[in-house]
Every structure is written in C-alpha cells, then in structure tokens.
Amino acid sequence: MAKRTGTAFSRRKTTYGVQVGTRVVVSDNSGAREAMIIGVPGYRGRLRRIPKAGIGDKVIVSVKKGIPEIRKQVLPAVVIRQRRPYRRSDGTWVAFEDNAVVIITPEGTLKGSEIRGPVAKEAAERWPSLANMASIII
C-alpha cells in the first residue's frame, strides 16, 4: 500500500471539534471578533457529509463581527482551541472553554501580532509561526 504524503491532513488523527457552519471566536488582534467556518481545504469525505476540522487544521472563515474593514471577508484561519474533548497520545484528555481560530495570510503567517488565550500544543507544533506568537501553550 502506497504511503500518502503532501496532503493537507498529514497529521495524527484527533477528534474533530468544529465543522462547516460553526461560529468561532477569533483570538488575535487582526480586527475580527467572531467568524463562521465555511470550508475545510483538503477535507475528503463522503458525498454530502459536512466537512469537519480539529485542532491545528487550516479552515476558511467568513468574518461576522469585527471592524468594518474586515467584516464580510473570506480569510484562511487555523483552529487553536476546541470545546470537544480530544485524547492526546500520553492518555490525557483536553478540552477548552471555546472554539477559537487565528486568522493567517495565504502564506501561513499570522495576520495579527498577538494571540489572546491559550493555544493547543498540537496547533503550535504544526504551525511554528503560531507558536512564536502564543503566550500560553497547553
């Protein structure tokens, strides 16, 4: 069996916590406060199944609340927190208070200059630029 490499989902399997249509908190200072997930690049699922994403996954969001210049824009983002509990390889279970994302540029760097609140370790490992800006990594 051939090994798949270079896909958008080359990562450890964790429990999906958000899906298309989920309203999430934007946890950076880019000007957006709330966004809605409208797509998950690289998701391959069954016909008519709603795409899902988990910690550290890249998603496409539509900004719903924020400053007027950034509202109604479609932007890429990374999931940094999810409410749904997921299990780590050491056996611990992790869950956060809210579902949160940070907005990134198409190149993968942060659009804002700081991240408010904790960032999951899985997201920080997968996105090094995000780990540099995080104040707390859990």
Query: Domain map of the chain by residue range?
Result: 18-137
**pLDDT tens digits, one per residue of 26-40:** 999 999 999 999 999
Contacts of 130 (CB under 8 A, 6+ apart): 78, 80, 102, 104, 110, 115, 119, 123, 124
Supply 30's token pair.
């880019």
Give the C-alpha distances (Å, rounded to integers) separating 67 from 32, 70, 81, 109, 117. 6, 6, 23, 21, 20
- pTM, 2 dp: 0.89
DSSP annotation of 45: -
pLDDT given at position 1: 55
**pLDDT tens digits, one per residue of 94-120:** 999 999 999 999 999 999 999 999 999
Domain 18-137 coded CATH 2.40.150.20: yes
